[in-house]
Amino acid sequence: MRRTSLSVGLLAWALALGAQGGQLPDNLLGSPMPAAQASRAITIGPQTRYVNVQQGEVVRFVVNGQEFAFKFDSPNVASFDLQRVAPAGMLDHSVMAYVAPAPDGGGGRGMRGGHGGR
């Protein structure tokens, strides 16, 4: 019985780590995209600490006059630091991306929901 409890506890811990995107390779968090495919833009300034996006959404991020676009297409990631997927040197501070599930449950093709945050 004790062994089962330990196994269940370890499984829950591993799933929680995966949900935060901490242990996943960067390429499993989503995909870089052409900026023209973004459904909206979020400007990231020095005070921006987080952004809210939805699974399946393509967002263009504008940082100090530079930009990159990213599709949040990982179905099991609730949050991760955008520095992991931004072009090298573009972000000089941590900006957490909080990824909400797609309302249709199907990856959010063509969605425009969510909002940027600070």
| Sign of the torsion angle spanned by Cα atoms 14, 17, 22, 27 | positive
The beta strand positions in 22-88, using DSSP E, are 31-33, 40-44, 50-54, 58-63, 66-71, 79-81
Residue 114 has pLDDT above 90, yes or no: no
Q: Where are the domains of the chain?
A: 2-100
Residue 82: CA atoms inside 13 Å, Cβ hemisphere, count?
A: 34
The predicted-structure confidence for 28-37, as pLDDT tens digits, reads as follows 899 999 999 9
Report yes or no on whether pTM surpasses 0.85.
no
pLDDT the model gives residue 28? 87
What does the pLDDT look like over 103-112, one tens digit per residue? 876 554 443 4
CB of 61 within 8 A of CB of 82?
yes
What's the CATH code, domain 2-100?
A: 2.60.40.2280
Coil, strand, or helix at residue 59?
A: strand
